Amino acid sequence: MKLLVTIPVYNEEKALPISIPALHAFLSETMQDYDWTIEIADNASIDRTPEVSRALVSEYERVQYLRLEQKGRGRALKKSWTASDADITSYMDVDLSTNLDSFPPMIHALAHGGYDIGTGSRLMKGANTERSVKREVISRSYNLMVKALFFTRFSDAQCGFKAVTREVIEKLIPHIEDNVWFFDSELLIIGEKCGYRIFDVPVKWIEDLDTRVKIVKTALDDIKGLLRVRRNFWAGKYRSLRR
């Protein structure tokens, strides 16, 4: 079974030489039953990320590089996932802020457990997170809003640690409009409400103090995204996606 692990990056020349070897070693040890590949999805970096990425591709056989000339994590994931022929595609943040021990059970749930989407959760029982009070409050408030608007069961809409099956890539991804940070929430909300099974896995997560995320702006954009998706459901836009 083919597995793609996408690492979306923007100006990560310092993080890549640390994280890619660590991820490569982990997958080599734990994911031997899969034909896996790591893809660095560079969304318009202006530092030495392209040079560093190409050096890693030369050094590691299972690492490849994808360059996009526009920014946006969601855009990078769409391009990487839809261009791949993998049976399961996934992604995680370049800082590996989510402990990798949660990755194999998430992938196995999609490969053998009948699930369609896997997502890390920093909020469910068994999770362990280290982050600022500000981010904790914003995250919990946002997830309560998601549940209030859509009555969803998944626990964490924003964790940068996800996987999807080939069916999800072909049927759902083309209908996700957001190209930035709301991509994750939109995928989970549309997926669950249309009948796709979501595997929630508790994770250990440590906040990246060098994050590129602008917390307040992202939160406001997420709220706008929630209202847009809600209107789309009212208009019956996703009716054809239901299983």
Residue-number span of the structural domain to which 99 is assigned: 2-241
Task: Decide if 44 contacts 76 (C-beta within 8 A).
Answer: no
The β-bridge relationship of strands 161-165 and 117-121 is antiparallel
DSSP code per residue over 92-157? E-TT--B-GGGHHHHHHHHHHS--SEEEEESSSTT-EEE--HHHHHHHHHHHHHHHHHH----S-S
- Looking at the structure of the chain, the number of domains it has is 1
d(CA 24, CA 37): 9
Residue 175 corresponds to which tokens in the numbers above? 């209908």
Residue 15 per-residue DSSP state? T
Q: How confident is the model at residue 210 (pLDDT cuts 50, 70, 90)?
A: low
d(CA 93, CA 211): 10
Query: What confidence tens digit (pLDDT) does each residue in 19-67 have?
Result: 999 999 999 999 999 999 999 999 999 999 999 999 999 999 999 999 9
CATH code of 224's domain: 3.90.550.10
d(CA 196, CA 150): 15
Q: Which of 9-23, 196-210, 221-235 comes out lowest in average pLDDT?
A: 196-210
3-state DSSP assignment of residue 163:
strand
Helices (H), the chain: 16-30, 49-59, 73-83, 103-112, 133-150, 166-171, 183-193, 215-234
Q: How confident is the model at residue 134 (pLDDT cuts 50, 70, 90)?
A: confident
Residue 209 has pLDDT above 60, yes or no: no
